[in-house]
């Protein structure tokens, strides 16, 4: 009876080891099948496969521990339970009267089962590590596919396509200048991300991170020939070049994807700022060594319009919008107001009738200082016709009621802006000068200049 029990236990152990062996083989086979699946299906099954492998590996580890314990107990019992048989040979207390040559060898089954479990465990662990690598690679592959960006011209130019969404279009279905600027920013960040030389998502290189440096824009000039409308697909090319000893220039070209027509272009100058002191810094040589291999000596704008000096406005500006306060969503990852937000603030003091009947043909901005969440900003605008007629505007008081003395032309410093009606009958471009400043101290934040043209199809406000 005892012999049969021992044989049954050995058979059960052998059967368990056999099942475990097949489980390990199934893990390996399923992993190989997952590897040969299409990318889309493989990505869909990654999380489930990784979790399943982890659960099976844990089960293998638990069973292996149990088998080791059984082996240890059986070995100790065998030594302690041995006694002499009637013929003088050693017998086992669990198999009394049966010579060793006739005993089922449980030790062989235990060792074989233990080796099988250990092999299955190692296979499962390797499969989990491989699955994690596949998951990481697939994530990068899917992300690059979603971005739809690629490097061209010896990998010095980054190209990406965008679809103009409904929430990026205005009342006349055309994209705004803020939309164009946001696309520029997204293209630039995706470019440095694909170039593999950055340390974080904001374009900071490894050497810049060691020196606690970040990029800040000092000047931007944008020219728009035609604004894309809702549903249009645009293609943006961007590249970088050196600018002076401590600067970097980034250029952009926007094309209509359907026709290849260039509809906008922009150039910007970037320098480095210390993240702790918030002061501008020289470019270290190790940073230059990191980024200079990516420079392309090519300009997208040949005119000098963006380099002209911008006149400074003061309290005599006819259009002033006060009490502009940064909101939390206006802050970027470098803990200051996003560059695109300044464009919106500049347009806050532009007469509404100008915005309705005209569109922005070009814009030049000079960034003087950063803005924090606790600052209150004031936006000033003035048409250049008034500046040309009154070159000493800072020394001359405005006539009562504004430029033309009419009550509608009064600038309101409490935040609500009233403006004269600007007729779209003339096609002559209208020039404006702008200033963003701290409302309390008067310190300059951004100086700007804009050129406006009459829209091709004037759409009145309803």
Annotation says 334 is catalytic: yes
State the Cα–Cα distance between residues 254 and 176, nearest whole angstrom: 14
Residue 103 designated active-site: no
- How many of the other CB atoms lie within 10 Å of CB of 16? 17
Choose, from 336, 338, 358, 382, the residue flagged as catalytic.
336
Q: Give φ, ψ of 135 to 5 degrees.
A: -65, -45
**Containing H/E element for 320?**
strand 319-324
Kindly provide the b/e burial profile for residues 106-115, where b requires at least 16 CB atoms within 10 angstroms of the residue's own CB: beebbeebbe
Q: Which of these is catalytic: 334, 386, 390, 413?
A: 334
Nearest-CA neighbor of 364 among 266, 454, 225, 270? 266
Q: What is the DSSP letter of 37?
A: S
Strand partners, 84: 90
In whole angstroms, what is the distance from residue 249 CA to residue 365 CA? 15
The verdict on whether 307 is a catalytic residue reads no
Distance from C-alpha of 415 to C-alpha of 378, rounded to nearest angstrom:
9
Using an 8 Å Cβ cutoff, are 186 and 149 in contact? no
| C-alpha 77, offset from chain centre | 64
CB 409 within 8 A of CB 381: no
In whole angstroms, what is the distance from residue 228 CA to residue 263 CA?
Answer: 8
Q: Which residues of 261-274 are buried (b: 16+ CB within 10 A; e: fewer)?
A: ebbbbbbbbbbbbe
Residues 6+ positions from 37 with CB-CB distance below 8 Å? 45
User: If we measure between CA atoms, which residue out of 22, 30, 33 comes closest to residue 60?
Assistant: 22
Phi, psi (5° rounding) for residue 116?
-65, -45
The catalytic residue positions are 334, 336, 371
């Amino acid at each position: 009876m005892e012999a049969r029990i021992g044989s049954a236990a050995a058979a059960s152990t052998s059967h368990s080891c056999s099942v475990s062996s097949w489980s390990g083989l199934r893990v390996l086979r399923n992993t190989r099948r997952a590897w040969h699946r299409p990318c889309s299906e493989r990505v869909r099954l990654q999380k489930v496969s990784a979790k399943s492998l982890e659960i099976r590996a844990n089960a293998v580890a638990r069973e292996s521990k149990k088998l080791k314990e059984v082996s240890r107990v059986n070995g100790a019992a065998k030594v302690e339970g041995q006694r002499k048989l009637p013929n003088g040979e050693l017998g086992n207390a669990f198999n009394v009267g049966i010579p060793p040559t006739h005993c089922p060898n449980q030790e062989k089954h235990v060792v074989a089962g233990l080796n099988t479990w250990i092999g299955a465990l190692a296979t499962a662990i390797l499969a989990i590590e491989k699955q994690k690598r596949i998951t990481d690679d697939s994530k990068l592959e899917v992300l690059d596919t979603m971005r739809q960006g690629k490097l061209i011209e010896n990998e010095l130019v980054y190209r990406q396509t965008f679809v103009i969404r409904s929430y990026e279009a205005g009342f006349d279905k055309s994209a705004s200048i803020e939309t164009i600027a946001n696309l520029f920013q997204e293209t630039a960040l995706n470019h440095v991300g694909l170039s593999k030389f950055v340390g974080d998502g904001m374009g900071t290189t490894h050497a810049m991170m060691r020196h606690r440096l970040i990029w800040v824009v000092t000047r931007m000039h944008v020219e728009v020939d035609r604004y894309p409308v809702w549903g249009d697909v645009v293609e943006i090319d961007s590249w970088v070049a050196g600018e002076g000893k401590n600067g970097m220039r980034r250029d952009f070209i926007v094309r209509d994807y359907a026709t290849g027509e260039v509809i906008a272009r922009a150039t910007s100058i970037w320098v480095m700022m210390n993240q702790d002191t918030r002061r501008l810094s020289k470019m270290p040589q190790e940073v230059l060594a990191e980024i200079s291999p990516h420079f392309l000596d090519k300009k997208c704008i040949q005119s000098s319009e963006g380099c002209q000096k911008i006149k400074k406005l003061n309290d005599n500006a006819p259009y002033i919008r006060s009490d502009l306060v940064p909101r939390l969503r206006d802050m970027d990852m470098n803990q200051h107001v996003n560059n695109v937000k300044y464009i919106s603030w500049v347009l806050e003091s532009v007469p509404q009738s100008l915005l309705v009947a005209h569109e922005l043909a070009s814009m030049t901005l000079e960034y003087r200082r950063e803005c924090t969440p606790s600052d209150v900003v004031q936006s000033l605008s003035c048409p250049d016709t008034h500046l040309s007629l009154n070159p000493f505007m800072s020394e001359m008081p405005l006539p009562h009621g504004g430029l033309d003395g009419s009550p509608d032309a009064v600038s309101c410093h409490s935040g609500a802006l009233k403006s004269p009606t600007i007729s779209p009958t003339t096609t002559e471009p209208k020039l404006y000068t702008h200033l963003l400043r701290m409302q309390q101290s008067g310190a300059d934040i951004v100086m700007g200049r804009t050129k406006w043209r009459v829209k091709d199809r004037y759409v009145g406000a309803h």
